[in-house]
Each structure stands twice: as C-alpha cells, then as structure tokens.
Structure 1
C-alpha cells in the first residue's frame, strides 16, 4: 500500500505536471470509484483546473479552481500513471482518466481505493481523525516525545496507527524501527526519553530519504520515470527475510505481529 513517501513522490510529480491546465476530458470506467454519478463527476471537472496538490497522510487532495476538492486514497494496489500525446497507454485497465490538455492522468487499481469530489469542509471532516503529520515543521522532537509518552502498545502497531501518526504503513514502520535499533514488538511505554528522541530522528530520516528516493513501490509515474520505486533498493529489512543485516550480518527475520508481517534484525534491534 502506498505510504507517505509514495504519496509525497506523487504529489511532487503531479505538481510539476498538471497544475493550472484546464481539464479537457474525463472518463469514468468504474462508477464505484467515485462518490457521485458519472455525469455529475465529469461535468464538475471539465474546464476546471487543479491549482494545488496537497498530501495528508496517505491521501492526496487535488484543489480545484472552483473551490472543490478531489480526495484520492489509493488503498491497496492503487497507482497513478501519466501519459503524454500519443504515448503508449498503461497495460492495466484504468478506473478513471482525466485529461489535462494532451496529458492524461490514469487512476489504476482503485478496486478498494477511490477518487471523491468533495467540498473543502467535507474533506476536512473526512480527514479529521488522522493523527499529526510526522514530516512537518510543527512536529518538533519535544512534541513527538510528548505524544509518544501518552501512548501504549507495541512500536509497530503505534507507527501504523493512522490516528496516532499519519502516513506510515508496514514498510516504513519496519525501516524506522531498524534505523532506531528498536525491536518492533517493544512496548512504547517502556521507551525512555532518549529512545523516543532516537525514534523521532529515525522517523524523520527514513521518511525524508524514502520520499526523495521515490518510495519503495515499483510503479513508474510516466514512461520515462526512473525515480519512482528506487528506494526499494535501499530498504534494510522490509521484505528482506533471510538476507544479512547491513549492520551486523545476522539474517533478517520475518514474523507476524497482531496480524501484520514484520521484518527485523533479531540481534541489533533490542526489545524493551
């Protein structure tokens, strides 16, 4: 599932590709992926422009020139693909296509995800239960430590809890725990202030590095996109079962924790 780095990568690429270009054509191949009748969705977009693309957690928010929003959640398996002119169309079927002049943005894999047309207030209401952004100037080390001291439960469960912190999923929770040298099964209430400060540093480091590296999901945004998915080569533990730890050489272990798969080094990640 796309997480903060994947959606931030999309946000940056979209911001450099589609802003302020009037929407010239819309095609809806799956009405369940939208929240209004196809005719209303299409007529509400034709002639409008996307003036800003915002990311909130794992969501993208397309700000339209008429004040409304398109709220996108890719869920499991969703992706975006942009074609230009006569470029070859994506091999997978698309649920929604939006044309910006000669560019067409394809929304693919929205069997569980969606693209909803909403007012600004409706978007705010939908996202009101999300936790704070972990990569934000307002998220200081002190604030992070104070937030974590109010929580209980395992580190992995906390990191992927969207009500606690927005944007982190399975992959980066494991990578953050590894970077911090903390076992993902550690109880957050057992971590002292020094460990929580280290955790904050690891959250910032891993997520910024992953976003700049294109995220871990191999799904190019355009035909010539050679950035998206490249961070997968830099993952230290996620999906690396049996491979030697880059720090100590011990084989990476895959286990299950509260119904989620988890990858970690049993030697240099300590449980608290």
Structure 2
C-alpha cells in the first residue's frame, strides 16, 4: 500500500503536470470507486481545473477550481499513471480524467477510492488522523507525548494512523531498523529508555525524508521517462528482504514475523 513517501512523490510530480489545465473528459469504469453518480462526477469536473494538490497522510487531495475536492486513497494495489493515450500502460483503469491530450489514470482501485467532497467534508474525513511526522512542529517532545500511555509495539503504533499519519508496513520496519530496535518492542518499554525513544524519533525523520527524496518504493513509473518513482525500493534494508543477509552487520539473516496480524521484517542480530 502506498505510504507517505509514495503519495508525496505523486503530489510533487503531478503538480508539475496537471495544475490549471482544463479537464476535458471523465471516464468512470467502476462506479464503486466514486461516491456520487458518474453523471454528477463528470458535471463537477469537466471544464474545471485542478488548482492545487495536497497530501494528508496516505491521501491525495485535488483542489478543484470550483472549491470542491477530490480525495484519493489508493489502498492496496492502487497506482497512478499520467500520459497520452499512446503511453498508457496495458492495465485496466477504474477512473480516467483527461486534461487535453494528457490523461490521469487511476489503476487498481479495487479497494481504493476517489471521492468528490466539499472542503468541510474533507476536513471531517481527515479529523481523526494523527500529526504529519515531517511537519516542523512535530518535535521530538511531541512525538514522545503521542506515545505516552499507549500500549502495543513499535510496529502497531507507527502504523496507527490516529497516532501518526502516513506510515505503513514498509516504513515502520525500515524505521525500526534505522533505530536498531526490534519492531515488536513494547512502547511502554521504549519510553523507559531516553536514548531508544530518541533514536526512534530521528529514524522516523530520516527514513521518511530519504524515502520521499528517493521516490518511494512503488514499482510502476508515474509517466513515460519517470526515473524517480520507485527508486527507494532498492534502498530498503529489511522490508521484503526475508532470508537475505543484513547489509549493516553482515551477520544477521532478515527474519519475517507477524505482529498482531501484520508482517514485519527485522535483523535479529543488530535490532534489539
């Protein structure tokens, strides 16, 4: 599932390609992916423009010139592609938004959605989300405050969108690795060690910033000639690396375990 770095990468690249171009056509192949009728959806988009693209947690929010919003959550398996008719990948699309010769394709929206909402409805949808981990106001002190009184593990806490927004399975494991902590470490134990909790905070910052700059781990390019999207996959140290030798200690073999129903990867030698 796309996480903060993937969606931030999409936000930046799409902002360079789509803003202020008139929407000329909308095609809905899967009505369950939207929250209004295709007729209403088309009427609200065609002849209007996308004026701003915002990211909140794992969502993209397309601000329309009408004041309405398109809220996207790709969920598991969802990807985006933007290009001309001749460039489109050979995959079925659920929604297409045409802006002249350029088409924004929403692919794999079997669980994901693109909802047309008002500004108020969008704010209400996002109201339960935790703070953005890369916001300059999210200091180490505030990070530790978010963790106080919580039960569970590093893994389950980091992926909890009500605690911190935007982190999922991949980056929770990479963050734990960067902090040299096992993902099944109990939060209450972590907070008893000032150094460990500090390392975890700085690992959140460094991993998410590096992953965003590296284009995230999504496999499919966003557009023809896109050499950034997905490049961070090569830099993942533990996620999906089961059975491989740890690149840091060169001794441990990456383990895969389940933590409260979620898969987690870690090095048993250098994560404690």
Which TM bucket (shorter chain)? over 0.9
Q: State the match for 1:42 in structure 2.
A: 42
| Number of equivalent positions | 269
Distance 2:145 2:266 in 1: 26
Contact 1:145 1:193 in 2 (8 A): no
Deviations 1:54-112 (A, max 9, x none): 0000000000111100000000000100013x533221110110011211000001110
Gaps of 5+ in 1: none
For 1:80 and 1:122, the matched residues in 2 are separated by: 24
- Runs of 4 or more off by more than 6 Å in structure 1? none
Shift of 1:10: 0.3
Determine the structure 1 residue equivalent to 2:120. Answer: 121
Separation in 2, partners of 1:193, 1:18: 46
Alignment match, 1:166: 165
> Following superposition of structure 1 onto structure 2, how do residues 9-158 of structure 1 map, counting pairs within 5 Å?
9-84=9-84, 86-158=85-157
Question: Are 1:52 and 1:62, in contact at CA under 8 Å, matched by a contact in 2?
Answer: yes
Deviates more, 1:47-56 or 1:87-96: 87-96
Q: 1:262 matched to which residue of 2?
A: 264
> Does the 8 Å CA contact 2:82/2:88 hold for their aligned counterparts?
no
Secondary structure at the aligned position of 1:23 is classed as: coil
Over residues 30-75 of structure 1, what are the superposed CA-to-partner deviations in whole Å (9 max), with x where a residue is unaligned? 1111000000100110111111100000000000111100000000
Shift of 1:19: 0.5
| Map of 2:206 onto structure 1 | 205
> 1:197: how far off?
1.3
State the distance in 2 between where 1:196 and 1:152 align: 15
TM-score, normalization by structure 1: 0.97
Superposed CA RMSD: 0.9
3-state DSSP of counterpart to 1:215: coil
For residue 256 of structure 1, report the CA deviation from its aligned partner: 1.1
Does structure 1 residue 238 correspond to structure 2 residue 244?
Answer: no
Q: TM-score, normalised by structure 2?
A: 0.97
The whole-number CA distance in structure 2 between the counterparts of 1:205 and 1:97 is: 35
Match of 2:17, SS state, is: coil
1:70 touches 1:115 (CA, 8 Å); kept in 2? yes
Q: CA deviation at 1:18?
A: 0.2
CA distance in 2, matches of 1:219, 1:140: 34
